Structure 1
Amino acid sequence: MPSTILSAPATPSEPAADTVRVAAPAKLNLYLHVLGRRPDGYHLLDSLVAFAGIHDILSVRPADGFSLEITGPFAALLLAEDPAGNLVARAARGLAAALGRDPHVAITLDKRLPVAGGIGGGSADAAATLRALALLWGLAADDPRPLQVAPTLGADVPVCLFGRTAYFAGAGEVVEPAPALPADLAVLLVNPGVGLNTRAVFQARQGGWRAAGRLERAPRDGADLTAMLRERHNDLMPPALALAPVVGEVVDALAAAPGCRLARMSGSGATCFGLFASLAEAEAAAGRLGAEHPGWWVAAAPFVADVHRLTV
């Protein structure tokens, strides 16, 4: 199915002469409703997606052949997997094939986000690969081929390529702009050191379907958005809890942190997030949670209005 992305940010058309470095930020599902299931088995979703200012870093440069180096604190899990299935490699080869050229690039992925964490790490990396190669290879701003490749890589890749606060629908192939997030909002992300397989979470889901939950209007401020989000849900949290009960401990710890407006799991887990009125409050809570749970990954960050404007 073709990707539907409205008002996607323009990609600069000037080719880069050397290394291109781009950020692959954490993707957060502020709510996630499961609306039904298609005949092909894919679930129909409705979600409000935002991006946090904590990210992997993707670097690409011209080379005589293709190579992928993975570094960073979460590199080991990816290095243990089959390289052929790596989303960065698939994105590079997919875009090269769409352009009718060889994928002669050297790619380095600095993996700073948890793997299988429900924050779109692999999808964000794939989207960053498409963006970086579009710059390296000098694609025109309106070249449709990165958008065409994105949905072939995974349900979250189109929204990560869009790179701004958005709704996504269908099985992830429909992406539409959402109202900008209020300025008085920061986020604290926590992963308990557990990865959850998305397919397993969907398979463990029980019960009926929920209606779409798009916001009825643009939120006035952070408190207003939080009130709207409380009326919405993450429908994958119950099955995630059944598979990894520690997710409930993380949500409870976030909810108990001073200043936390809302605590929720993102995506299919196991990463959870808390919303705060300021980055200072989120950082203070991060310090306390990190000290109390030294085995947890804890990171405070602002929200990012436009991933394409991030510099690394």
Structure 2
Amino acid sequence: MTSVTVRVPAKVNLQLSVGPPRDDGYHDLVNVFHAVSLFDEVTASDDLAARPGDAPAVVSGGCSVTVAVEGESADQVPLDGGNLAVRAALALAARAGRPPGVRLLIRKTIPVAGGMAGGSADAAAALVACDALWGLGLAREDLMDIAADLGSDVPFALLGCTAVGTGRGERLVPVEVTGRFHWVFALAEGGLSTAKVYSECDRMREANGEQVGWSQAGETLMAALAAGDAEALGGALVNDLQPAALMLCRPLARTLEAGREQGALGALVSGSGPTCAFLAGSADQAAALAMALEVAGVCRSVVTAYGPVPGAAIIPARP
């Protein structure tokens, strides 16, 4: 049996500015992605033997993909063609002349439907793992093209670190960052549908007669990243989807307020939510903030992380 394991990070959106709906149903975005040290792992294997309890394989064009999931909210991850990692493997197989198949084992740490691009991360990891397993040796640019067809956040999961995404978020320009930033993530009960959050954002804007424009926080945010200035970065965090996420999940407002009360330098809903992200001034301050949030009981659980970190990468086989 041959297998390849890839580790891939979660992301937090430092700025998410959302334009009006386009004719294709998407929105133009200005999206500052930041990869953080909260990882999923995806193992691609050529061992296709059925196991007890396996979901049926997804077959397309002669390629068979079987997926299993362990870890954080594993029971909430689809095991069929709705799984983005499965779609990634099939898309790569089509490009590669359709190898016979692959088994994917996803080990989850990134929250499911939590606004941290866990599904997109798994798709990116599947691309890298299957490319190596099948000996394709595709250029990273080719993988990025496939990733962009799969979803707006998938290319960034390949790239990692920090980058500005435009278009749907798939056109990326890396950003230079000085030092390390320390984060606390408050995980909520359940998840939020990205599509529903965008729809609610559009509804609220229409109801309020809001004129859609781009945030002016970008220059301050970029300067803070370049200088490694956590306090300035905390004041520049922006998420246009946050009002919609708060409308759909009212308890998040209390979570954000609790983090601010406990000294977070910045607080916002991550992406489409419902995970709340808090910026701290140091690793020690992040640990203290995480403990305070746990004591306050305003979320399901709390994790700490730092960023930026690299994107999807192969890790050595376990002994």
TM-score, normalising length from structure 1?
0.85
CA contact (8 A) 2:234 2:267 kept: no
Amino acid at match of 1:289: L
2:15 counterpart of 1:31: yes
CA contact (8 A) 1:117 1:268 kept: yes
CA contact (8 A) 2:84 2:119 kept: yes
* Per-residue deviation, 1:91: 0.7
Three-state SS of the structure 1 residue aligned to 2:190 is coil
2:176 counterpart of 1:171: no
CA contact (8 A) 2:17 2:31 kept: yes
In the alignment, which residue of structure 1 is the partner of 2:83? 86
Amino acid at match of 2:272: S
* Per-residue deviation, 1:32: 0.6
Distance 1:254 1:215, change over 3 A: same
2:282 counterpart of 1:278: yes
2:140 counterpart of 1:131: no
In the alignment, which residue of structure 2 is the partner of 1:6? none
Count of matched residue positions in the alignment of Structure 1 and Structure 2: 291
Three-state SS of the structure 2 residue aligned to 1:63 is coil
Amino acid at match of 1:30: L
CA contact (8 A) 1:215 1:228 kept: no
CA deviation digits over 1:94-150, x for unaligned, max 9? 111111122522210012222111000101111111111222223336264322211
CA deviation digits over 1:201-232, x for unaligned, max 9? 1111113322255436543544x354255345
Superposed CA RMSD in Å reads 2.3
Instruction: Give the distance between the partners of 1:38 and 1:55, measured in 2 at CA.
Output: 32
In the alignment, which residue of structure 2 is the partner of 1:159? 156
CA deviation digits over 1:230-258, x for unaligned, max 9? 34520000111111111111111211224
* Per-residue deviation, 1:294: 7.9
Identity %: 33
Three-state SS of the structure 1 residue aligned to 2:81 is helix
Instruction: Give the distance between the partners of 1:178 and 1:40, measured in 2 at CA.
Output: 29
Match of 1:194 among 169, 190, 193: 190
Three-state SS of the structure 2 residue aligned to 1:122 is helix
CA contact (8 A) 1:24 1:121 kept: no
CA contact (8 A) 1:74 1:113 kept: no
CA contact (8 A) 2:230 2:281 kept: no
Which runs of no fewer than 5 residues in structure 2 stay unpaired?
Answer: 49-63
Distance 1:215 1:311, change over 3 A: farther
* Per-residue deviation, 1:48: 0.9
In the alignment, which residue of structure 1 is the partner of 2:200? 204
Three-state SS of the structure 1 residue aligned to 2:239 is coil
2:53 counterpart of 1:50: no
Amino acid at match of 1:19: S
Within 5 A, what are the aligned runs for 1:1-312?
18-64=2-48, 66-78=65-77, 81=78, 83-102=80-99, 104-140=101-137, 142=139, 144-183=141-180, 185-205=181-201, 206=205, 207-211=210-214, 213-215=217-219, 217-219=222-224, 220-222=226-228, 224=229, 226-228=231-233, 230-231=235-236, 233-258=238-263, 260-293=264-297, 296-308=300-312, 311=315
TM-score, normalising length from structure 2?
0.83
Instruction: Give the distance between the partners of 1:199 and 1:127, measured in 2 at CA.
Output: 21
CA contact (8 A) 2:124 2:158 kept: yes
Three-state SS of the structure 2 residue aligned to 1:106 is strand
Instruction: Give the distance between the partners of 1:179 and 1:140, measured in 2 at CA.
Output: 28
Amino acid at match of 2:33: V
Distance 1:295 1:50, change over 3 A: closer
* Per-residue deviation, 1:182: 3.0
Distance 1:38 1:306, change over 3 A: same
- Structure 1 ranges of 4+ moved more than 6 A: none
* Per-residue deviation, 1:187: 0.5
